[in-house]
Each structure stands twice: as C-alpha cells, then as structure tokens.
Chain A
C-alpha cells in the first residue's frame, strides 16, 4: 500500500511540475502566438476581402467582449471613411469547424466579402470552398440579414460541387456572423469612432 502511494505521488509530482512549466511558457508566448496566427492565418483572408482599403486592417483592430468571448474586429477604410469591419465566425463543416471572416459595410449592412481561414475539410473537395473565388463571391453585396442557404436546401447559394456539407457550414457561419453583428452593432459603431 505504501509503495502504491509512493508511486502515485511521484507521477503526480512530475505531472504538477510539467504543468507548471508549460503554463509559464504558454503565458510567455501567448501574445506572440496570437500575432503570428493573425499574420499567417487570418491576415491573408482579411487583406483579400478588404482589398483597396487605405489603412492596415491588422493594425487597425479593436476587441469587443461578447458574453464569455473576446471578438476582434478589423477596420477597413475606404474613401476616407472607416466604413467596413471584418470579423471571424465559425460554422460546422464536414470535418470540424470552418472559420469564416465576414466583412460588413456598416452603412448598409451589406457583405463586402467573405474569406475562409481555418478548416478541416476534405482536400480537393471541401477545401475548394476556400480556394474557389466563385463560391465566396456569391456572398458579396448581399445583405447580411439574408437567410443564406444552399440551393439543395431551397436557398440561393450554389454549393461547391460534391461539398454540400462544407457549403452549408459556410452558410451557417455567415448566418452566425449576422447574429453577432446585429447584437454588437451599437458597440461596433461606438468603438469605430475612436
């Protein structure tokens, strides 16, 4: 019995030390990792959707607390007016969550563009939702309040061939982003003035 306790305690002690070390390092690298993810994962999508803006959306960003989450909003300046914000929402795809950045024009609540960031979809099939500009351009110019659905579900969006679940996931992400946008719009308008 004593030996069992000794064995248990030694493994427990090891795990505790390991946990402590990892927590320290994770804390130390947290900000840097967030910046790297921004630069390499979200950055390209944001630059592409907010193409032609006269500022740097990655620098010009603010956070809003939404319940238990902290959401980042990236500002796009066009014609001298800070009129567009881009933020990320998630939809349920075939292989997991699909991250979609949606850019909304604050004046008319229209979608300026969408871009897919992270996904675990089937390479060559569902992944085409990210790489095929014909798919994502369907959302451009439409009102964010529109109930986006793929044609198979009676909606207007042409799904990626052979990737209906993925396409549904993207629609779900855009609908989710509409809900976030409507809920936080007043806070967004407030913060964008600063």
Chain B
C-alpha cells in the first residue's frame, strides 16, 4: 500500500478512469455531454467536490464513527456541492442554468461517494488529494472526449468552455447526425468508447 502520491494521481487518468474503467458516474456522463461547454463545466465542478470531500474525509477518517460514516460522508459531499452551486450561480450563471438539475445530482454521483468510502476513509490526506484530483481530471477528460464526439457529429458545432461561444465546425453543407445528441446516441457513444478502451487496455 505504499504507492506514491504521483502514482495515485496518474491512475485516475488512465488505469482507473471513470466512467470508462471504473464504470461509475454514468448518469451525468450521458446527460451533460451534449455540448463541450457543459461537459467541461460538469467535470470541473465534480473534480472540485471530489478533491475537497476526499481531503476532509481523509482528515477526519479516525474521528467519524464507523456506523454513521455514510451519513457523515453525504453531509460533507452535500456541503461542497452546495458551495459549488452557490459559486456557479454567482460567477457563471448561464452555465448554471444549462447544467440545471445535474449540479445537485453530483451529491449522488457514485464516483464521489465511491472514492470517499473506498479510498479517502482509509488513506492519508496527500494520497486522498492526489486520488481525488486524478480521478476528477480523468472524469473531466472523459466527458470532454465524449462531448466533442457527440457535439461535432450531432450538431456540427463546438462550444468553447469559458466563453460559451459556439463555433460551427463542419461547414454549411453538413447535415447533423442528431441521433448523437439524443439519449440513445449517448448510450451508443459510451458503449463504443468502452469498447475502444478495452481494446487499448488488452494490449
């Protein structure tokens, strides 16, 4: 169990990347990847919650009684999600409106509670911080890749993360493959990405 902090960080970027390897956090992955801006925004919000909750839970791991640990984890996670919600309302209101109900749903994102229970409750603060950061960035990258595929094929546009400006990438004669931005298309895309990841992993 003597992995260095750097190793904990990098595993979240490939070997244990959610949602493709850990297969956790599929609900927001499918829902917010219609545009790149939404995907990146959701990834950053989740990463913030993941890192903060991992740190706090790791700091308090010897203080939280075992029998109420899930309740305490949820209180910590819900607090940070509410912080994210308030900060987004104050500073990035249009993005807050676009992500809508999926911001409060970060509380029940399996990645956050899963890492808290499986890792932060049993490891030191630095490792937990690295783990949270790695998995969070891995999640953000997955969302971004999926969103790029879905948005470019499905609407022919690319929405820049910070400014929200939408660029028409494919040219005027492109007929959008709208299946991609609908729910069934999300599932199909996710399945194909899982397939690709498994093929690459087998090598």
User: A interface vs B, CB < 8 Å?
Assistant: 6-7, 10-11, 14-15, 18, 21-22, 25-26, 29, 32-33, 36-37, 39-40
Chain B residues with CB under 8 A of A14: 72, 75-76
Q: Are B68 and A11 in contact (CB under 8 A)?
A: yes
Given contacts A18-B75, A36-B93, A37-B93, A7 and B86 within 8 Å (CB-CB): no
Among listed B27-35, B77-85, B124-132, interface-contacting one: B77-85
Q: Are A18 and B79 in contact (CB under 8 A)?
A: yes
Chain A residues with CB under 8 A of B202: none
Given contacts A14-B76, A39-B93, A33 and B68 within 8 Å (CB-CB): no
Does B71 reach chain A (CB closer than 8 Å)?
yes
Q: What separation, in Å, do the CA atoms of A74 and B94 have in the docked complex?
A: 22
Which one of B64, B79, B93, B97 lies within 8 Å of A10 (CB-CB)?
B64
Q: Which of B64, B67, B68, B90 has the most CB of A within 10 A?
A: B90
Q: Are B82 and A22 in contact (CB under 8 A)?
A: yes
Q: Are A32 and B64 in contact (CB under 8 A)?
A: no
Give me the 8 closest cross-chain CB pairs, A-B, nearest first.
Answer: A36-B93, A29-B90, A18-B79, A32-B90, A33-B89, A14-B75, A7-B68, A40-B93
Apart from A14-B76, A25-B87, A33-B89, 17 more pairs, CB < 8 Å? A10-B68, A11-B68, A11-B71, A11-B72, A18-B76, A22-B82, A22-B86, A25-B83, A25-B86, A29-B87, A33-B86, A36-B89, A36-B90, A36-B93, A37-B93, A40-B93, A40-B97
Does B201 reach chain A (CB closer than 8 Å)?
no
Q: Are A22 and B93 in contact (CB under 8 A)?
A: no
Chain B residues with CB under 8 A of A26: 86
Q: What separation, in Å, do the CA atoms of A36 and B75 have in the docked complex?
A: 28
Show 18 residue pairs from A and B whose CB-CB distance is below 8 angstroms, ordered by the A residue.
Answer: A10-B63, A10-B64, A10-B68, A10-B72, A11-B72, A14-B72, A15-B75, A18-B76, A21-B79, A22-B82, A22-B86, A29-B89, A29-B90, A32-B90, A33-B86, A33-B89, A33-B90, A36-B90
Chain A residues with CB under 8 A of B79: 18, 21-22
- Interface of B, helix, strand, loop or mixed by DSSP: helix
How many A-B residue contacts, CB cutoff 8 Å?
Answer: 51
Chain A residues with CB under 8 A of B94: 40
Given contacts A14-B72, A22-B79, A7 and B65 within 8 Å (CB-CB): yes
Which one of A10, A32, A40 lies within 8 Å of B91 (CB-CB)?
A32
Chain A residues with CB under 8 A of B75: 11, 14-15, 18
Chain B residues with CB under 8 A of A39: 93
Cβ of A124 to closest chain B Cβ, rounded Å: 15
Chain B residues with CB under 8 A of A7: 65, 67-68
Cβ of B145 to closest chain A Cβ, rounded Å: 28
Chain B residues with CB under 8 A of A36: 89-91, 93
Chain B residues with CB under 8 A of A18: 75-76, 78-79
Q: What separation, in Å, do the CA atoms of A37 and B96 have in the docked complex?
A: 11
Chain A residues with CB under 8 A of B83: 21-22, 25
Chain A residues with CB under 8 A of B86: 22, 25-26, 29, 33
Chain B residues with CB under 8 A of A6: 65
Chain A residues with CB under 8 A of B65: 6-7, 10
Q: What separation, in Å, do the CA atoms of A121 and B89 have in the docked complex?
A: 22
Chain A residue with the shortest CB-CB distance to B93: A36
Chain B residues with CB under 8 A of A37: 89, 93
Q: What separation, in Å, do the CA atoms of A25 and B80 have in the docked complex?
A: 11
Q: What separation, in Å, do the CA atoms of A39 and B92 have in the docked complex?
A: 12
